[in-house]
Amino acid sequence: MKKPWAGRFAQKTSGAVESFTESVSFDRKLWKHDIAGSIAHAKMLAKQRIITAKESAAIIAGLSATAEAISSGKFRFSPELEDIHMNIESSLTERIGEPGRKLHTARSRNDQVALDLRLYLREQMQDIISLIRKLQKMFMMIAERHQDTVMPGYTHLQRAQPVLLAHHLLAYVEMFQRDRERFRDCMQRTDTCPLGSCALAGTSLPTDRAYTAKLLGFSKISGNSIDAVSDRDFALEFLSCAAITMMHLSRLAEELILWSTEEFRFLEISDRFTTGSSIMPQKKNPDVAELMRGKTGRVYGNLMALLTLMKGLPLAYNRDMQEDKLPVFDSAETLTACLSVLLEMLKEVKFNTARLRETAAGGYATATDVAEYLVRKGVPFRSAHEITGKIVLYCISRNIPLTGLSLQELRTFSPLLTEDILTILDPVASVKARSSFGGTSPSEVKRQLRHYRKLLK
**DSSP 3-state of 221:** strand
Q: Would you state the torsion angle of the CA atoms of residues 264, 270, 271, 277, taken in this order, to the nearest 10 degrees?
A: -30
Instruction: Name beta bridge partners: 154.
Output: 159
**CA pair distance 273, 286, nearest whole angstrom:** 7
Rg (the chain; Cα; Å): 31
Whether 36 and 115 have beta carbons less than 8 Å apart is answered as no
Which own/partner contact pairs does 373-380 have at CB distance under 8 Å and 24+ positions apart? 373/417, 373/421, 373/424, 374/414, 374/416, 374/417, 377/416, 378/416, 379/414, 379/416
Q: Among 266, 256, 250, which Cα is nearest to 159's? A: 266
CA distance 294 to 365: 33
Instruction: Report the SS3 class of residue 448.
Output: helix
Q: How far apart are CA 48 and CA 43, in angstroms?
A: 9
The residue among 81, 86, 123, 91 whose CA lies nearest residue 108 is: 86
Does the annotation mark 72 as catalytic? no
Three-point CA angle 36, 42, 43, nearest 5°: 95
Strands 158-164 and 192-193: what pairing?
Answer: unpaired
Give the DSSP letter of residue 313. P
Q: Please give the C-alpha separations between residue 8 and each of 11, 12, 82, 109, 246, in angstroms, as whole numbers.
A: 9, 11, 17, 18, 47
Q: Which of 72, 156, 278, 436 is catalytic?
A: 156
How many residues are present in the chain?
A: 457
Pick the catalytic residue: 64, 130, 277, 435?
277
Among 227, 243, 29, 204, CA closest to 114: 227
Is position 277 annotated as part of the catalytic site? yes
What does each C-alpha distance from 332 to 127, 238, 251, 294, 329 come to in angstroms? 10, 9, 19, 16, 5
Contact 373, 337 (CB under 8 A): no
Would you please indicate which residues are annotated as catalytic (active-site) residues?
Answer: 156, 277
